[in-house]
A and B are shown apart, each in its own frame.
Chain A
Amino acid sequence: MTSEARGDLALNVLLAIARLGDDAYGLGIQRDIASSTAREYAVGAIYTTLSRLEAKGLVASSWSPPVPARGGRSRRLFHLTAPGTTALQMAHERERLRWVGLDGLLTPGIG
């Protein structure tokens, strides 16, 4: 995986955690990314990214109460930390700045 693809996946994982709220676990994150980007990453790749993000302090994890669907075992739930939220806001701002000055081009009916 190239560093660009890794960064892309990390951003997608952060976005999925933000969207899923209190129900962000490995498989749920993979499904959310699949539905929002039409790209189905391996669960292993999701966990690799999650452990990298956790090491950077952008996400934190805790164990859920036992889940009947998993035979009574717990899920590891992930949530954004304050630096993670800031990183997401910065990524959003960077993306917004990329499109500055192109409003005319993007208005329907012109061109």
Chain B
Amino acid sequence: MTSSSPVHRAARLVHAAFGASPAVNELLDDLHEQFVHRSEDVGVVAARWSYRWELLRATPYLLRTTIRELSWSDASLLLVRLSAAFALLLTIESIILLNVAHSAEVLGLPRAWQPWNSTSPALPWWAVAAPSLSMLVFGYLAAWLDPDRPLRTVILASVVVAICTLLPLWPFVPSHVMRALLHAAAVFAGGLVRFTSGHRALVTGDR
């Protein structure tokens, strides 16, 4: 198997996403051994698809393992990274909003276009979408700050965001839960964007 073969690439993608812990290596070794046997039995193409399918089925285990292996120092580092991502997000948003506010005032836009103004009669659509967009950027930044295990960071960031969205809203109604899930999904999507852009060659198979 060459180092650029799809199976090897999938393994490198898993390493990039979850880190190269002994548990991850052990699973990948087993799947590779299974791939070698199946290649002899059913051919390389079928074995390759089988390998990908098995890898997909193993994702819950990989997620559980990578979260269970979180040590206290890992957790504190993760907290620092999430805080840094949040601080970065606030800085970026402040710069954008201050510029938009200034431009809106200069251009004399109606107040409905100024969602930061508490007297606005209704929030425009882009202001409603803004929190999800913020969460998307937050996920991207969190993954960017942890190049070793970006997916683990993003998954934990999603959980943290969902909890932080839900907690102040007690007692929960379905729309609160939906909002929390939407935010968590946006964080994950942002992280996924960062991860795939950082490992484009592995994802697309380009050399």
Q: Can you list 19 pairs linking A and B with CB atoms under 8 Å apart?
A: A25-B30, A26-B26, A26-B30, A42-B54, A42-B58, A42-B61, A43-B31, A43-B54, A43-B58, A44-B27, A44-B61, A44-B62, A47-B23, A47-B61, A47-B65, A51-B65, A69-B33, A70-B33, A73-B29
Give complex CA distance A27, B36 in Å: 12
Cβ of A45 under 8 Å from chain B: yes
Query: Would you call A48 an interface residue if the criterion is a C-beta within 8 Å of the partner chain's C-beta atoms?
Result: yes
Total residue contacts A-B, CB cutoff 8 A: 49
Q: Mark A9-53, 1 if CB is under 8 A from B, else 0.
A: 000000000000000011100000000000000111101100100
Interface residues of B (CB under 8 A from A): 23, 25-27, 29-34, 36, 54, 57-62, 64-65
Partner of A47, one of B27, B33, B34, B36: B27
What are the 6 tightest A-B residue pairs by CB atom distance, in nearest-first order?
A44-B58, A44-B61, A42-B57, A27-B30, A26-B30, A48-B61
Counting contact residues on chain A (CB < 8 A from B), the size range is 10 to 19
A43-B58, A44-B60 are known contacts; what are 18 more A-B pairs with Cβ within 8 Å? A25-B30, A42-B54, A42-B58, A43-B27, A43-B30, A43-B31, A43-B57, A44-B57, A47-B58, A47-B61, A51-B65, A69-B36, A70-B29, A70-B32, A70-B33, A71-B29, A73-B25, A75-B26
A108 to B54, CA, bound (A): 43
Residues of A within 8 A of B26 (CB): 26, 47, 75-76
Closest B-chain residue to A25, C-beta based? Answer: B30
Which of A43, A48, A69, A73 is close to B64, meaning CB atoms less than 8 Å apart?
A48
Q: How far is the CA of A51 from the CA of B24 in the complex (A)?
A: 13
Listed in ascending order, the chain A residues whose CB lies under 8 Å from chain B are: 25-27, 42-45, 47-48, 51, 69-71, 73, 75-76
CB atoms of B60 and A43 under 8 A apart: no
Q: Chain B residues near A73: list those with CB within 8 A.
A: 25, 29
* A26 to B57 CA separation, bound complex (whole angstroms): 15
Q: B61 touches which one: A45, A69, A70, A75 (CB < 8 A)?
A: A45
CB closest chain-B residue, reference A61: B26
B34: A residues at CB distance < 8 A: 27, 43
User: Is B33 a contact partner of A44 (Cβ separation < 8 A)?
Assistant: no
Contact (Cβ within 8 A) B59 A44: yes
A73 to B27, CA, bound (A): 12
